């Protein structure tokens, strides 16, 4: 028995629940990438997932388990990023009302995309108002259920289906590289990987400027940092979760960091060599593979590419400056 938030059975149940609605994303390989590291890389392309990132998996798995009463009232979350769109799309598919709290200065395209999925967007002033307090008040007043972006067992189990699909498709791996923000994806993927191939080393990868996960992993207690300045906007989290951290401590082998310059160079590699668009946060795992801090020679390496949602003007300027 374990007192951890999720088991492999939870990931398997999540997979059965979401499989009819989520894309089974492709696994790409590249001779050029393999030659760079001397091993075999398997890129799990969640940039091709519905709404453009893996967040659909956890969001759908969470809302699909609402009671009839929860469904009747609706779901609320706060995020200006991929989780908001994952919740909005999942809620629409399940016929549930979604309320998304977003900062007043969120990019207009993100607000429009979220509204486009049928969600109600409530704007707040991120410098003047406390987002958690507003979220709780909205939840209380309207009977909404709050689904946070990572620290929730159903979200974690849903994200773990990424690694389950990858390993079931390509077979056992020696190493699995997973981008790390709040740890929903890493905790789920580690749970799946350790069940399916116990010898696989599971490694989380964070932006250098936001290494709270590495500090937490190595010290054994959750370390909090200020909002980090990095181009990896999906990993600007300040701390791991109360559910995700114990799972990561137990099932993950290490946490590494990469620089913004490495992320930009990796983004350019994917565009030029593999003709795919991966957002900066989505490049974390691959940048660690290319960075040379791991000996991957002769190894079978899974790399999760988490998402492809990046504004085209921003993409162009990051690529233009990249090595
Ligand atoms: C949310 C997100 C992450 C980080 O996931 P966590 O579960 O918070 O660790 C990585 N990449 C992308 C594209 C994301 O949207």
Q: Considering only CA atoms, which of 88, 93, 16, 85 is closest in space to residue 52?
A: 85
* Confidence at residue 128, expressed as pLDDT on a 0 to 100 scale: 76
Q: How remote is the CA of residue 237 from the centroid of ligand 1, in Å? A: 9
Pocket test for ligand 1, best of 48, 49, 54, 86 (most atoms within 8 A of CB): 54
> One digit per residue, pLDDT tens: the chain, 323 residues?
469 999 999 999 999 999 999 999 999 999 999 999 999 999 999 999 999 999 999 999 999 999 999 999 999 998 778 999 999 999 999 999 999 998 888 878 778 888 999 999 999 887 777 888 888 888 999 999 999 999 999 999 999 999 999 999 999 999 999 999 999 999 999 999 999 999 999 999 999 999 999 999 999 999 999 989 999 999 988 999 999 999 999 999 999 999 999 999 999 999 999 999 999 999 999 999 999 999 999 999 999 999 999 999 999 999 998 98
Query: In Å, how far from its chain's centre is CA 212?
Result: 16
Query: In Å, how far from its chain's centre is CA 137?
Result: 27
Q: How remote is the CA of residue 150 from the centroid of ligand 1, in Å? A: 8
Say if CB 205 and CB 179 are below 8 A apart.
Answer: yes
Q: For ligand 1, is residue 285 a contact (CB within 6 Å)? A: no
- Nearest residue (CA) to ligand 1, atom 7: 184
Q: For ligand 1, is residue 187 a contact (CB within 6 Å)? A: no
Give me the active site residues, please.
55, 80
* Confidence at residue 1, expressed as pLDDT on a 0 to 100 scale: 45
- Nearest residue (CA) to ligand 1, atom 4: 181
* Confidence at residue 278, expressed as pLDDT on a 0 to 100 scale: 98
Q: How remote is the CA of residue 180 from the centroid of ligand 1, in Å? A: 6
CA atoms within 13 A on the CB side of 99: 21
* Confidence at residue 2, expressed as pLDDT on a 0 to 100 scale: 67
Q: How remote is the CA of residue 122 from the centroid of ligand 1, in Å? A: 22
Q: For ligand 1, is residue 234 a contact (CB within 6 Å)? A: yes
The reported pTM is: 0.96
């Amino acid at each position: 028995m374990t007192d951890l938030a999720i088991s492999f059975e939870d990931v398997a149940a999540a997979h059965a629940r979401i499989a009819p609605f989520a894309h089974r994303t492709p696994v790409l390989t590249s001779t050029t990438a393999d030659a760079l590291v001397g091993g075999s890389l398997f890129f799990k392309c969640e940039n091709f997932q519905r709404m453009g990132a893996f967040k659909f998996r956890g969001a759908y798995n969470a809302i699909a388990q609402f009671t009839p009463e929860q469904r009747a009232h609706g779901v609320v979350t706060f995020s200006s990023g991929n989780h908001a769109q994952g919740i909005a799309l999942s809620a629409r598919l399940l016929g549930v009302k979604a309320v998304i709290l977003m900062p007043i200065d969120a990019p207009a395209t993100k607000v429009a995309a979220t509204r486009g999925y049928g969600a109600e967007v409530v704007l707040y002033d991120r410098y003047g108002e406390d987002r958690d307090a507003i979220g709780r008040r909205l939840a209380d007043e309207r009977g909404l259920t709050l689904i946070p972006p990572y620290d929730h067992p159903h979200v974690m189990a849903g994200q773990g289906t990424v690694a389950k699909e990858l390993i079931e498709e390509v077979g056992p791996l020696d190493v699995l590289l997973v981008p790390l923000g709040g740890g929903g994806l890493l905790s789920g993927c580690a749970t799946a990987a350790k069940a399916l191939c116990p010898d696989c080393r599971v490694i989380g990868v964070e932006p250098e400027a936001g290494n709270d996960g590495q500090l937490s992993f190595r010290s054994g207690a959750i370390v909090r940092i200020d909002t980090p300045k990095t181009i990896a906007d999906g990993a600007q989290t300040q701390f791991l979760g109360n559910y995700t951290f114990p799972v990561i401590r137990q099932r993950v082998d290490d946490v590494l960091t990469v620089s913004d310059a490495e992320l930009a160079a990796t983004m350019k590699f994917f565009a030029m060599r593999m003709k795919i668009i991966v957002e900066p946060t989505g490049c974390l795992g691959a940048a660690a593979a290319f960075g040379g801090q791991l000996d991957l020679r002769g190894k079978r390496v899974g790399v999760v590419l988490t998402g492809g949602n990046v504004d085209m003007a921003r993409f162009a300027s990051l690529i233009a400056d990249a090595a």
